[in-house]
Amino acid sequence: MTFNKDIPISEESSGESAEIAGKYLTFGLASEEYGLEILKVQEIIGMINVTRVPGTPDFVRGVINLRGKVIPVVELRLKFGMEAKEDTERTCIIVLEINRNGSHVTTGVIVDEVSEVINISADQIEPPPDFGTSVDTDFILGMGKTDQKMVIMIDADKVLSGGEIILVDEVVKQA
């Protein structure tokens, strides 16, 4: 590995960036651009009827029946503390396979719109900002800097906490 003497790079930070570099599906929420590792994405579907399940948190929109399989659907706007918005013709569901403690859970996330698949290289990645202990940023892999925009790179496995995964699993069992 070669280093530019003028730019200090620690072995640790460059290694972490290399691990998360790759292809990301980008999508919009409000005015921000986010990215999910393409390998976590099973498919993208237009908005379909979501069956609400009573007693679930606001960010759980409900469940869908996708080819005979019941899948919980999370509204990322609400999960991230954003204002709710009416669905549009661009609103869609990204179906993800997330890994939690060795088990795979299929979950849908509702986003305002899907943008494109981009390749983010290690030299385009900055670590997530440190907001202190009051803000949970564990689900942010890094900040991808492309020519036109900043992409908040999300770790699909950490968007929902362990307790929320259990709750979402219970939603599926109720449906």
User: What is 11-174's CATH number?
Assistant: 2.40.50.180
* Residues 136-142, mean pLDDT to the nearest whole number: 81
Delimit the domains of the chain by residue range.
11-174
Q: Which tokens in the block code for residue 51?
A: 């069956």
E strand or H helix at 78, and its extent? helix 76-79
pLDDT at 115: 95
**pLDDT higher than threshold 60 for residue 100:** yes
Position 7: which residue type?
Answer: I
* Residues 94-106, mean pLDDT to the nearest whole number: 86
User: Which band of pLDDT confidence, cut at 50, 70 and 90, is reported for residue 29?
Assistant: very high
How far does Cα 84 stand from its chain's mean position? 17
pLDDT at 5: 33
CA dist 21 and 166 (Å) reads: 29
pTM of the model: 0.83
Higher pLDDT, 42 or 104: 42
- For the beta carbon of residue 82, count every other beta carbon within 10 angstroms: 14
**pLDDT higher than threshold 50 for residue 136:** yes
Tell me the Cα Rg of the chain.
Answer: 17
Position 147: which residue type?
Answer: D
- For the beta carbon of residue 110, count every other beta carbon within 10 angstroms: 22
- Residue labelled with tokens 């986003």: 111
For residue range 58-93, list pLDDT tens digits in order.
999 999 999 999 999 999 999 988 999 999 999 999
pLDDT at 39: 94
Average pLDDT, whole number, for the chain?
83
Q: Which residues pair with 24 in a beta bridge?
A: 37, 118
Q: For residues 94 and 107, is the Cβ–Cβ distance under 8 A? A: no
- Residue labelled with tokens 């292809």: 23
How far does Cα 35 stand from its chain's mean position? 7
